[in-house]
Structure 1
Amino acid sequence: MDDETDGSLWRNVGFRRLFTGRLATNAGDSAYLIAALWLVFDLTGSSLYTGVAGFLIRGPRVLRVLAGPVVDRRPPHQILVWAQLLQGALVAVLAGTALLGELSVWLLLAVLPFVSGIEQFVSPAEKAVLPRLVDDERLVRANSLLSLAKSGTDVAFQAGSGVVLAVVGAASLFVFDAATFVLAAVLFAGVTVTSDTDDDTDPAETGDSLGDDGSSYGDRLRAGVGYIRGSRLVPFLLGAAAVNFGSGAMTAVLPELGAALGSASAFGTLMAALAASTLVGSVSATVFEDVPYGTVGVAAFLISGLSLAGAVAVSGLVGTAGLLFLAFVPVGVFNILFFSVIQSAADTEFVGRVSATVSSLTAATFPLGSLVGGAAAAVVGVDTLLYGYAGLLLLFGVGCLVDKGIRTLPPVTEADAETLGFGG
């Protein structure tokens, strides 16, 4: 780890490069997401197709668990570099086709899952490299800053991209995204770590399929899943899966809601409100690191459910966007603390696999929600669908309150593998 004697993460060169790379890639991703979802809706005029697009964007997240054993074996900073280069090449195809005036909804839908599939290696690699760059007592702060990099760029670029899209079209946004992938690859290339698993030995030369201990890919995958089976986080994972189903449905109907409120720029404003809520939640997370995590969970989802219901009830873009922002600030706090608990409590050799497994389990229902939400909106309407999601958030909050295993979870600063039941 780099010297942090002054107490500042910014003196840590590796973390600084990781943070800057995250800024670059998220700036492009924000523009890409707005362009892709709005363009699908614009080309088809149907929330059903935006639901399909949401499924194709989020669906590969279910497979993130498969990336865990790779991340825990190979140098994570190298995985970050190659992922950026491959994603940049795919987005460049969309940019070139758009510039030639040949971009179709079918090509767009075909490319979406490949870009997202490569992305599934990025988050586990980032979470695996972070504990090797910073001390345990700085993990919450470091995670908060990385989430800040993501949500901060989302706020600026999602709002701005809606306007740019309406003025100059999708091609410029795709060109911008491709360029940011290349920039991020250069920055990630400067992130170097030293660990027992981070060497230049080719597994094929040692006879290992993927592990330096002779274990196969399947063995390491099963070990990672078994490590969290029976832990106190399992009830939360099941509840989060249900909540993510509602998030998928909401994503599918936001373009239609934006169109009803104005235009592509209104859609960008709604997406920016969601990003801003994550931004504020990330910045605020450090305030709650000494608060019992179970208490944070109960409050977070009860507040979110009530606020989302209010966002649907009010009229006008300002009121809707404002309450939508308020609805997901608590969820942003909850998520930062959740992954900080994992990174702090899990054994180092399991961090990549546990992070990937948790991400897959909690994300599994999001793409299904996108499909169902896009189809259901045509039957029950956007407002009814969003009220249903608000009810789901409230139900999860009540569930956290009733379940003693979740309600009594300790603060992040006190969590360890034994307390959470990891490996049991």
Structure 2
Amino acid sequence: MKTRSFLRERNFMILLSGVFINGIGAGVYAVSGMLLVLYLSGNVFYSGLAYFAVTLANALAFLIAPFARYVTYKKGLIVCEVLKSALLFTLPLFYATIGLNVYYVITLLFAVSLLAKFTYPIESTIMPIIVGKENIIKANAYLQTVREGMGIAFVAGAGVLVAFIGPVQAILITAVCHLLSSLTYTLFRFRQNTVPQERQGMKQSVVAYKTDLKAGMTYISQSLIPKMIGSIIFINMALGVMVPNLPAFTLMKGNSEAIYGFYLAGLSLGVMIGTLVTPKVKECRFGLLTVIGFSSTGIAWLGTAFLPVYFSLPCFCIGSIAIGIFNILIFSSIQQQVEEAMIGRVVTVLSSAAAVGVPVGSLIGGALGSTFTPVLPVAFCGIAMLLFSASWLVHPVLRKLPAIEKASLFVQKPVQSQSV
């Protein structure tokens, strides 16, 4: 497959279209979901509780991935999008009839996030099938650029939209987007995974589930990932401390719901810039790139905490550039170096392990923000990024990691399982 031929590949364009549609809905949902919780409760602590629920789903993702072996890639994507749409439609329905309860909203946010954790490893698995492993980094960059580009446009607009029509009505847009993306995925035509045909008893199913789960963990344990995971958990916990406070922090900075949307758009813009420059910096030493990148993030986010909004917002954007680069390089290395049968499980085990600290951080952040000031959690996150950078600098293996395509993060060996 030629370098850019994947751009004309039918299935890649379908996946890109689905990401585009979901990007519209995700931008609106990112703003309206958290603001709805804040409006219903009137307390930053509940924002922390909502983010705890969402990130708990991330941490539990490794328990969900093995179930993907029992459906084809195409069916898994379609069914999950329909279910997410149906759940979100209940918010405006209940709002118009029996009323909304903050705990129901938090539970729904958890359920929708859990469904997303089922589809993400499928998307990661089908990418090498569609574009070929030689095009993974560029294809991921294109996909992430569309995803973040939609985030910039619609997260920024969502703040204004919520201010005019309210968060419940805005969430209806997200529900429609998930329904449209499910229809888009019906057009997929590519090689599907083999699904077990025989009906298993409960005992056999549990044994197979445990086997698949253990296989993903074993594969990760034999790689360089365990050397990175401690520091990654730490910065994810720090993000968990910061994010629940962003609605209150931005309202304090700008006194308008629209400002919250602008900050989230700034985050998306920074990640998108990182995504766009990734193909240019992939030849740089990965260890050194991580140290410099996250040092910049720490300094920029300290500026976000203490500077006026006109300087704080650009700093927030600049600080997220390194996150975009790091994410693309790590997940591209998984798709390049890991066997197809293991990609989904490796992605979810890694994502779950990295997300372990986020629910704890969100509860701490909610308590800090409600007890003191939302500025404190943002500053804490900036300091955490500097500590993350320092931990890589002093670690002899991580500091010396070569360019990501030359770094052997995973031990390559044949795998018999057909799981996602």
What is the TM-score of this pair, normalised by structure 2? 0.93
For 1:347, the aligned partner's letter is E
Distance 1:382 1:75 in 2: 45
Residue from 199, 203, 227 that aligns with 1:204: 199
1:16-415, aligned counterparts within 5 Å?
16-72=13-69, 74-100=71-97, 102-194=99-191, 198-199=193-194, 201-204=196-199, 216-260=208-252, 261-315=254-308, 317-415=309-407
Q: Residues 5 and 138 from structure 1, CA distance in 2 versus in 1: closer, same or farther, beyond 3 angstroms?
A: closer
Q: Which amino acid aligns with 2:267?
A: L
Q: Deviations over 1:180-200 (max 9, x none)?
A: 0111111122223326xx135
Report the Cα distance in structure 1 between the residues aligned to 2:396 and 2:161, rounded to whole angstroms.
49
Between the aligned partners of 2:97 and 2:156, the Cα distance in structure 1 is 26
Question: Is contact 2:36-2:168 (8 Å) kept?
Answer: no
What CA distance in whole angstroms lies between the structure 2 residues aligned with 1:228 and 1:204? 30
8 A Cα contact 1:72 1:353, kept in partner: no
Contact 2:368 2:376 in 1 (8 A): no
Give the length in aligned residue pairs. 413
* Preserved CA contact (<8 Å) 1:203 1:209: no
- 158 and 100 in structure 1: CA distance in 2 versus 1, 3 angstrom threshold: farther
* Runs of 5+ consecutive residues of structure 2 not aligned to the other structure: 415-420
State whether residues 243 and 362 of structure 2, in contact with CA within 8 Å, keep that contact through their aligned partners in structure 1. Answer: yes
d(CA) in 2 for partners of 1:199, 1:237: 32
**Residues 205/13 of structure 1: CA separation in 2 closer, same or farther (3 Å cut):** farther
| Identical counterparts, % of pairs | 24
Displacement after TM superposition at 1:300 (Å):
1.5
Q: Quick check: 2:333–2:404 contact (8 Å CA) kept in 1?
A: yes
Q: Alpha-carbon deviation of 1:101?
A: 7.5
- Mapped partners of 1:72, 1:337: distance in 2: 26
1:39–1:220 Cα change, 3 Å: same
Whether contact under 8 Å (1:68, 1:354) holds in the other structure is: no
Q: Is the 8 A contact 2:338 2:410 kept in 1?
A: no
Q: 1:210 to 1:153 in 2, by over 3 A?
A: farther
When the two chains are superposed, the root-mean-square deviation of aligned CA atoms in Å is 2.2
Question: TM-score, length-normalised on structure 1?
Answer: 0.92
Asked if 2 retains the 8 angstrom alpha-carbon contact of 1:96 and 1:171, the reply is: no
